[in-house]
Amino acid sequence: MGDLFSRRPVSAHVKDLLHGLADAVQNALRRAPGDLADVVGKGADGAPTRRIDAIAERAAFEYLDTALPEGRSVLSEEAGRVDRGGEWTIVLDPVDGTHNAIRGIPAYAVSAALCKRAPQGKVERLVEVRAGLVRDLVSGITYYAESGKGATRDAIPIRVTKPFAPRDTVFDVYLGEKAHPKASEVAGRARRVRNLGAASLDLCLVACGAADLYYMHSAEAGHELRAMDIAAGVLIVREAGGGVVDLAGRPLDMPLDIGPRTNLIAYGDEQILEMLL
């Protein structure tokens, strides 16, 4: 991989780069020894780091050391921001849905997005993401998008559901003790309600038309979604013809950094958004 990326422009091989990263994580977890639920440290935000997260992140960093020998910046859930120069920033969640993984619920993924590295002293933003990949680490299904080039599921183009069928709506809604009361109201408007508990995969359900809506509204500050959770999935939804907005209905944007968090609404048909706002 090192020779491939050193001989030719990286911009022509973004897809190979992100697929290779997902392969590295998936292969490392298949071979991983020990109890993947063990707490082995703390992440950059202070949350416990499980063995599964540490193994996945290490595999991703080792791959990137080979694939981008000229350097890169990485914003990752566990390590935070690691800046080694270069042209690119990779926004990485090595395992999105860690709690699912350690409880044996088959819904967790690696999420990786790529954008141009910001100038010194500045931070990249969500709207600047140029490519994103989400790999379901159980099924191996891969969602991918590049800015202006559409979105795919295992290399087959995908689109959101338009128009939605009012009598057959499927809403993906975050519920539970941290959820805002409005979430129950939104769920009550749907024919069926689902939630995977892995934001990258929840977003991809909207992108491929399996869900009409993904609604995330935490009532407690600090429990919203981070940039690493959603950077790839937001691009995939938008490239599949859908929209992602904040709770006021504005197109979602945020700094790509360890601290900021956000609630969001992802949708296929704008009529659904109009129902909620």
What is the set of domains in the chain, with CATH numbers? 2-157 (3.30.540.10), 166-276 (3.40.190.80)
Encoding tokens for residue 19?
């697929």
Q: How far apart are CA 85 and CA 209, in angstroms?
A: 38
What is the pLDDT of the chain when averaged over all its residues? 92
What integer is the mean pLDDT of 118-134? 94
pLDDT per position as a tens digit, 60-85: 999 999 998 888 999 998 899 999 98
Residue written as token pair 């090595």 = 94
260: CB partners within 8 A, 6+ apart: 226, 227, 254
Does residue 236 contact residue 203 with C-beta atoms inside 8 Å? yes
Report d(CA 199, CA 204) in Å as an integer: 9
- pLDDT exceeds 90 at position 1: no
28-35 contacts, C-beta under 8 A, 24 or more apart: 28/55, 28/56, 28/58, 28/59, 29/55, 29/56, 29/59, 29/95, 29/137
- The distance between the two most distant Cα atoms of the chain, rounded to a whole number of Å, is 55
Residues 6 or more apart in contact with residue 19 via CB below 8 angstroms? 133, 142, 144
Q: What is the mean pLDDT of residues 223-232?
A: 96
Mean pLDDT of 118-144: 95
Amino acid at 192: R
> For 48-63, how does the pLDDT look when each residue is reduced to its tens digit (9 = 90+)?
788 899 999 999 999 9
